[in-house]
């Protein structure tokens, strides 16, 4: 019976209908879905939408945030303590792009 369902899902998907697949996915828990993902997609699933990169001139450190507000507040706060700070946002291609930067050029 599973083979028939698999064949039906593939046939329907080729015809542009993913209704059955979508219904089955709704029934699965997040842990089951995460476990079924490839290593690459498991890594992508763990990305947070915002990141801050800080540097003291020698080492670089990354911190990640779920909230844009929290990321911006931290970015502003850290300007008093770090030499270089970059605020990043995750793109649709799962790459971080710089949306703001600050550098203390006085040192």
Are residues 24 and 58 both part of a single domain?
no
Are residues 38 and 54 both part of a single domain?
no
pLDDT (0 to 100) of residue 57: 66
pLDDT (0 to 100) of residue 8: 93
Are residues 76 and 62 both part of a single domain?
yes
Residue 23's domain spans which residues? 2-45
DSSP assigned state of 57: S
Are residues 23 and 64 both part of a single domain?
no
In Å, the largest CA–CA distance within the chain is: 71
Pairing of strands 96-103, 84-90: antiparallel
pLDDT tens for residues 31-89? 888 888 888 888 777 788 899 998 766 778 889 998 999 999 999 988 877 778 999 99
Are residues 8 and 27 both part of a single domain?
yes
Task: Quote the number of domains for the chain.
Answer: 2
- 3-class DSSP state for residue 105? coil
Are residues 37 and 62 both part of a single domain?
no
State the burial class of residue 102 (Cβ atoms within 10 Å of its Cβ: 0-12, 13-18, 19+). middle
Are residues 9 and 38 both part of a single domain?
yes
For the full predicted model, state whether its pTM sits above 0.85: no
């Amino acid at each position: 019976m599973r083979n028939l369902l698999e064949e039906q899902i593939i046939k329907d998907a080729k015809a542009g209908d993913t209704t059955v697949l979508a219904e089955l996915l709704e029934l699965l828990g997040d842990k089951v879905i995460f476990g079924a993902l490839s290593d690459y997609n498991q890594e992508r699933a763990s990305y947070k939408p915002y990141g801050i990169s800080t540097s003291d001139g020698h080492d670089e450190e990354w911190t990640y945030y779920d909230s844009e507000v929290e990321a911006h507040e931290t970015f502003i706060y850290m300007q008093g303590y770090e030499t270089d700070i970059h605020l990043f946002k995750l793109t649709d291609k799962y790459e971080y792009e710089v949306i703001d930067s600050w550098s203390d050029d006085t040192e």
